[in-house]
Structure 1
Amino acid sequence: MTDNPRVTIAIDAGVADVRLNRPAKMNALDPAMFAGLIDAIDRLGADTSMRAVVLSGEGTAFCAGLDMASMASAGAGVDLAERTHGLANDFQQVAWGWRTLGLPVIAAVHGIAFGGGLQVMSGADIVIAHPDTRLSVMEIKWGIVPDMAGFALWRGRVRDDALRELAYTAREFSGTDAATLGFALRTAGDPHAEAMTLARAIAARNPHAIRAIKRLANDAVAADAADILMAESVEQAALLRSPNQMEAVMANMQKRAARFVD
């Protein structure tokens, strides 16, 4: 794929290594970064050969949040209520888009993840953070609320009273704290290497089943039990005896690597 200067994409064996690429500014979100992230989500979603995504930041930080100077003029006159990407507006899509992308996304987080950067991180299915990462629900510092899909993404994932305290105060917390509270799955000394290892393991599984699991997991956050049970049955019926499902069975029986098709 051709890279946007703000967001680079390298692909190997169906795993997309996506990196925020503004290291001199700790990958702060400016209009070009917003556009690059939205474009990356769109392009990866349209490519059926993709199996998993690792999302990280170049340099010393994952993302320091909004570049306030560049966004002040860009945001003037914007109608935040306008839905430009399904349920989301442009600002929400850079985080929400990873959640709705049809394949698993693993965020590898280090250095800093503040404000909008924390919300972009939270769009991932799984977050692996360096224990010393500095994180903050930063918006109240500027007298505003998290509005880049944070609350929708944290629902069912982050302990409610802890989220309220962090949002009310903008208090910094660590990668270790993030794993305890639910912002991250676990910590690692090299989050990117661990995320790539996990992504490759996912990429070796039936891609149609993996995408079905993501749909079920997304729906389970808000759907009632009846809808979830029916969704499980519908997804399973589509998978049973499909070419990739049969290949998974044969590969296990023959003790070899599976050869799945798009």
Structure 2
Amino acid sequence: MSTQTAAAAATETDAPIMLISDLVDGVCEVSLNRPDRLNAITPELMRAIADTHETLAGMAGLRAVVLKGSGRAFCSGLDKSGFQRMKTEGRGSLGMDIMNRTHGPANMAQNCCWGWRELGVPVIAAVHGFALGGGFQIALGPDVRIAAPGTKFSVMELKWGLVPDMGGMAVMRTLARGDVIRKLTYTAEIFETDKALEYGFVTEIAEDPLARARELAREIASKSPTAMRAAKELLNISDEEAGALPALLAESRLQKDLIGKPHNIEAVNAGVEGRPAVYE
């Protein structure tokens, strides 16, 4: 598919940081496009993802979406510049009030994950390289995840003295056992694709996840578009009844009390300096 449309917002080199392909047979491909930074998350990327959701929602004839990362990774998590801002700017480090519900039940950061859930058509993520921290949470938003062998995943926020706050907890609980989620959250351990499949975070493993995601998207697009949209709405209602929406607000409330505080700053300093953290 040739990419002709780019979401608003750009990097310092003016390259578009979200790419939206032409619509072919009801399928559109969307790419996180900061390959030089392993598609690391910045406030600009968050806003570009929101713009992309809006564009897709208004796209006539859309039946399925393939979400991927450009270059060597799906998404490596929060850009390191964000950690520096946490140290100097505290909870305003992302340029937003995380308690503000800007996208339905979600804030701007949570929308990076939750917006794929709320999009009216199925979304298939092709995941490779890394899906760490916020990048892992973005990957949880789509309906299906196809991952390459050896892809590295992590619920990494505790490493930085934080909790997952990009919508991930609201989705994780529908995919994996509670004790598994707790272990991964508490340890911030990195696990690979075979374990992600065992836990329930990955739907399928494929040597070429993008090719498989495209194949699955075409299959979905061949079904009744009205029935497919109704099916997704029904599944989302089921998740919401299970308590997903209160989890979004709880994420923000708890994170707001952590960002910029001494333990968060010490965790960031220790991680950047490659030393054990010392908490008082």
In structure 2, C-alpha distance between the alignment counterparts of 1:186 and 1:31, rounded to whole Å: 31
Which residue of the other structure, out of 89, 96, 120, is the alignment partner of 1:102?
A: 120
The separation in 2 between residues aligned to 1:77 and 1:105, in whole angstroms, is 28
Structure 2: 5+ residue runs without aligned partners?
8-15, 243-280
- Matched to 1:88, the amino acid is A
Q: Percent identity?
A: 46
**What is the rounded CA distance, in whole Å, between the counterparts of 1:78 and 1:6 in structure 2?**
20
Structure with the larger RCO, 1 or 2 (CA within 8 Å, 6+ apart): 2
1:212 aligns with 2:215: no
**SS of corresponding position for 1:205:** coil
Paired letter, 1:185: T
Give 1 or 2 for the bigger CA radius of gyration: 1
Structure 1 range deviating more: 76-85 or 196-205: 76-85
Against the structure 1 CA distance between its residues 48 and 76, is the aligned structure 2 distance closer, same or farther, given a 3 Å change threshold? closer
Runs (4+) off by over 4 Å: none
Secondary structure of the residue aligned to 1:2 is strand
How far did residue 47 of structure 1 move?
1.6
TM-score by length of 2: 0.77
Q: Structure 1 CA distance, aligned partners of 2:183 and 2:207? A: 28
How many residues are aligned here?
Answer: 224
| 1:175 maps to 2:204 | no
CA–CA distance in 2 between the matches of 1:32 and 1:23? 15
TM-score for both structures, normalised by structure 1: 0.82
Q: Does 1:32 align with 2:50?
A: no
The separation in 2 between residues aligned to 1:9 and 1:121, in whole angstroms, is: 17
2:109 is equivalent to residue 87 of structure 1: no
Distance 2:138 2:73 in 1: 13
Distance of 1:25 and 1:162 partners within structure 2: 30
Superimposed CA distance per residue, residues 114-170 of structure 1 (whole angstroms, 9 cap, x where no aligned partner): 000000000000001112100000000000000000110112211211110000010
> What is the aligned partner in structure 2 of residue 58 from structure 1?
70
Cα displacement string for residues 207-256 of structure 1 (whole angstroms, at most 9, x for unaligned residues)? 000000001111112438xxxxxxxxxxxxxxxxxxxxxxxxxxxxxxxx
Superposed, which structure 2 residues align to 1:1-262 within 5 Å?
2-4=5-7, 5-11=16-22, 12-70=24-82, 72=85, 75=93, 78-223=96-241
Conserved? CA contact 2:43–2:94, under 8 Å: no
C-alpha distance in structure 2 between counterparts of 1:15 and 1:76, whole Å = 32
